[in-house]
């Protein structure tokens, strides 16, 4: 790869995440500071293929640091799953004079970046997803803000649960990753939580815990369920997946405690990014441009502890995400 980059393209793809704008701002300003042009590509890989892009200036990225969502908009692009779509993207880069591409998104977006890299377009992936489900990095942009949104909502639900001696069963996002559910369970003192990575039994993991806690004098409860929990409990007929409403009905039937289901939903994606997300997004965006200036492409920017580093995009996509078993143990032992 020729490290004399003249123009960098940047796009946001997949689900939006708070902090995406901070990453776009950091990439743009770092590049411009070093004499590199930046083309902002609108609506992800769709915009790349259709040429929906513009040259970004310093002022174009002013006032976006504190905003949620993405100023470049986002869209999923099934066409980019085909070789024809990727080839179309490569030709679009050549036509626009884009020497390298920064892709802000999750695993699906990085697969598109990988395929484009294999066709000779240097790409850098910046992990942006509230799910925190990218195995190559310990932290993805948007995760901290999403956790704080969940905690604030459950704090409010707790007031009502306590007032009515009720159990609130709360469904949170995370797709097939239980990180949001696990950490919000600790933050909000949930009596139990269900995550996709660990098999569960409703009687053992919720009902028995609630009965024990009722015996100590507590009469209101929080149970947190990750949306990716699809295992059907063998106590139920059929193979329908679990959800908050089904679990709430079961809890009320077995314990006599009134139970209500709440799905927090897409508010977890929005809102002004937290200080942590703004700082890490800025650092990752700056790091991505530095890699390209050194002639290094085809990488995913990652966070390991307090250090920003990078991994090969091909290797990064082969890694498998695991849940923090020690944190699971902590959550279980302090939920009594």
What is the rounded distance in angstroms from the CA atom of residue 62 to the CA atom of residue 132?
27
- Catalytic site includes residue 133: no
**Which two three-digit tokens encode residue 208?**
């028995």
Rounded to an integer, what is the distance from CA 229 to the centroid of its chain? 17
Return the SS3 of 308.
strand
**Which two three-digit tokens encode residue 179?**
């990180």
Strands of the 167-172 sheet, one edge to the other: 192-194, 221-226, 167-172, 259-263
Residue ranges in 126-238 assigned as alpha helix (H): 143-163, 179-187, 202, 208-214
- Residue among 16, 99, 131, 233 flagged as catalytic: 131
Q: What is the DSSP letter of 194?
A: E
Kindly give, in sequence order, each residue whose CB lies less than 8 Å from that of residue 186, ignoring residues fewer than 6 positions away: 327, 330, 331, 334
Rounded to a whole number of angstroms, the distance between the first and last alpha carbons of the chain is: 57
Q: Residues of 207-230 as b/e, b for ≥16 C-beta within 10 angstroms?
A: bebbeebeeeeeebbbbbbbbbbe
Active site residue ranges: 131
């Amino acid at each position: 790869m020729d490290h004399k980059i003249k123009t960098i393209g940047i796009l946001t793809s997949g689900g939006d995440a708070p902090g995406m704008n901070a990453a776009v701002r950091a990439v743009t300003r770092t590049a411009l500071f070093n004499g590199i042009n930046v083309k902002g590509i609108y609506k992800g890989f769709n915009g790349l293929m259709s040429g929906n892009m513009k040259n970004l200036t310093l002022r174009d990225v002013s006032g976006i640091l504190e905003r949620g969502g993405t100023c470049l908009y986002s869209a999923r692009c099934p066409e980019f799953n085909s070789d024809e779509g990727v080839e179309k993207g490569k030709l679009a880069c050549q036509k626009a004079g884009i020497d390298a591409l920064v892709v802000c998104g999750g695993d699906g977006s990085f697969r598109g970046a990988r395929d484009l890299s294999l066709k000779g377009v240097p790409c850098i992936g910046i992990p942006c997803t509230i799910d925190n489900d990218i195995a190559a990095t310990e932290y993805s942009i948007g995760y901290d803000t999403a956790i704080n949104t969940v905690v604030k909502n459950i704090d409010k639900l707790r007031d009502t649960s306590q007032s009515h001696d009720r159990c609130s069963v709360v469904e949170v996002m995370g797709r097939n990753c239980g990180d949001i559910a696990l950490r919000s369970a600790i933050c909000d003192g949930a009596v139990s939580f269900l995550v996709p990575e660990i098999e569960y039994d409703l009687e053992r993991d919720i009902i028995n815990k609630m009965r024990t806690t009722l015996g100590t004098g507590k009469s209101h409860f929080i149970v947190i369920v990750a949306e990716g929990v699809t295992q059907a409990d063998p106590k139920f007929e059929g193979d329908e997946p679990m959800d908050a409403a089904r679990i709430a009905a079961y809890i009320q039937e077995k314990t006599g405690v009134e139970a209500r289901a709440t799905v927090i939903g897409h508010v977890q994606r929005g809102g002004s990014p937290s200080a942590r997300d703004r700082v890490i997004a800025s650092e990752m965006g700056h790091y991505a441009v530095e890699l390209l200036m050194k002639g290094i492409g085809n990488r995913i920017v990652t966070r390991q502890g307090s250090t920003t580093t990078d991994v090969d995009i091909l290797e990064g996509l082969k890694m498998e995400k695991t849940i923090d078993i020690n944190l699971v143990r902590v959550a279980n032992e302090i939920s009594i």
